[in-house]
Amino acid sequence: MLGCQEHDLEDSVEEWFARVHPEDRERLEMALTVHLQGQTEHFEHEHRMLHQNGTYRWVLSRGLAVRDSAGNVTRMAGSQTDITERKVADGLTGLPNRILFMDRLDCALDRAKRHKNAMFAVLFLDLDRFKVINDSLGHDVGDQLLIALARRLETSLRSSDTVARLAGRPTMARLGGDEFTVLLDDIHNVSDATCVAERLQQQLAAPFTIAGHEVFTTASMGIALSATGYERPEDILRDAETAMYRAKNRGKACHEVFDTAMYDRAVALLQVEIDLRRAVERQEFLVFYQPVVQAIYAGRFGRVCGTCAERDRARSQQLKTRNY
């Protein structure tokens, strides 16, 4: 299951725990401890384990503590099942889901750290006005559109000219809703990523026929490059999403390449919103009400407003009285 031969593994509990993904190990140990203490009848846990090829596989471990006559645990008896396909596939489109995409993005980031010349890019796609389709034609049509869109984009990424331009195999995933991501591994420069984005836009230009309806859709795309120097996969995905929102603000159906100014603007906007909320809570605003007056001065050129007219008539009467 993990691609290992007998001589690759030591016969110890430590060897088993060493192959558990660092993010899953604490939860696994806690679940196991609870069972060994007799608080649960059976042990069951899902976690990732390191394959011999350097990737992680999702496994389901089920077991039962075997005890001696004194009640002491002597061993665990159970089974382990590979559930990777179930865990990493999107249920609607069959594409890799967020879990698998982040795992592959993490691997790409590690390669980029080891090899200075290695470069990759992340494309973040979000459909424009997808809510309108759901609201007008129904969620079933919306789901069918997502499936058809996934197949069309997959075909585009597998095309001969795309493969020739990219040294690595692209990975497309659905993060959820109408959000898709593409990992372009082992690219040469930013133009490789922008060319793929333009090709995907061209593929979306043709209408989709869904349940007898002709549906047109476009997507806003953000691109983030590994050359920026990321430490975590979550950071590069965040910046690709930030660039996507920039593309939406530009008018949709286009792509934007992330730069640090976008992040600075996003952080500044968030800080302003936080400061405004706190200012309201602390009653730091002073509200001044300034009346809006429609003052029309006409004098000898025409009519005046009601208030001014009464005032002018009173003054005229005073002048007449003084003159007489």
* Residues designated catalytic: 178
What is the residue whose two structure tokens read 């090899």? 115
The pairing of beta strand 179-184 with beta strand 208-210:
unpaired
Cα 114–chain centre separation: 26
Phi, psi of 221 (to 5 degrees): -130, 140
CB 56 within 8 Å of CB 48? yes
207 CB-near residues (< 8 Å, 6+ apart): 214, 215, 216
One-letter-per-residue 3-state SS of the chain: CCCCCHHHCCCCHHHHHHCECHHHHHHHHHHHHHHHCCCCCCEEEEEEEECCCCCEEEEEEEEEEEECCCCCEEEEEEEEEECHHHHHECCCCCCECHHHHHHHHHHHHHHHHHCCCCCCEEEEEEECCHHHHHHHHCHHHHHHHHHHHHHHHHHHHHCHHHHHHCCCCCEEEEEECCEEEEEECCCCCHHHHHHHHHHHHHHHHCCEEECCEEECCCEEEEEEEHHHCCCCHHHHHHHHHHHHHHHHHHCCCCEEECCHHHHHHHHHHHHHHHHHHHHHHCCCCCCCCCCCCCCCCCHHHCCCCHHHHHHHHHHHHHHHHHHC
